[in-house]
Structure formats: structure tokens, C-alpha cells
Amino acid sequence: MPFVKHCNVSALGVEDKTIFILDGINNEGFSGGPVIVKTGSDQKIVAVVSGYVTEPAEVIFSSSANRPPKETTEPGSRPKGTVSVNSGFIVAYGINYATEAIKKNPIGPLRQSN
């Protein structure tokens, strides 16, 4: 059974390809899922979920004795004493980008258009 989630479009980037930034919680395994917009009784697939943005959150320790010392980390890595949590932003690519990728690398037999 598929999971259905609700979110809002927070940003829309339109350059080489359309990128949607959606305000909603995503889960691992949802990549490749459709982003559907419903207007009245019509539904349209507008994008494909690519992933979600994470951010560091400080770990809460039970005592200061258990707290690791604050240290600097390599650029691009998360600070010591933190974990990556879901930021609530989902990244999705416009459906045109997905259909172009499928046409370039089709899987299975080619179908004749009617």
C-alpha cells in the first residue's frame, strides 16, 4: 500500500531543469515517488522525489560528564555531538527531467505510440 503525504511548495527553481523544494517530511525510500498536484478532480504528476535535506541537531546528553568535547570537523561534515535530522524540506525534480532520463536509458521493450 503506498503512503500519501501532504506538503506545500516552498520554492521553485527553473534553470536547466525544474527543481521543487517542498515543505514536508519525507522518509528514506520515498525517492522516485511521484509529486502529484490536484486541481479540482484532476490530478497531474509534476515531479519526482529525489530526497530530503538534513540538518545537524545537537545530541542531548543525560549529564555533562557524558558530553563529548566540542571539536571542529572537516568542512562539509556535521559537528561533533550532533546527529543528522530531517529538516522538513523535500527535493523533487520536474517530471520532464525524469521523462528525458527514461527516454535516454529505457528499460524494457520500446512501445509503439498510437
What does the CA dihedral 37, 41, 44, 45 come to, rounded to 10 degrees? Answer: 60
Q: What is the pLDDT of residue 46?
A: 92
Average pLDDT of the chain to the nearest whole number: 79
Strand partners, 23: 8, 89
What's at 8, amino acid-wise? N
Query: With pLDDT > 70 as the criterion, what percentage of the chain qualifies?
Result: 74
Predicted model pTM: 0.66
pLDDT in tens, 63-75: 655 555 555 556 5
- Map out the domains of the chain as residue ranges: 8-53+86-104
Cell of 23: 515543505
Query: With pLDDT > 90 as the criterion, what percentage of the chain qualifies?
Result: 17
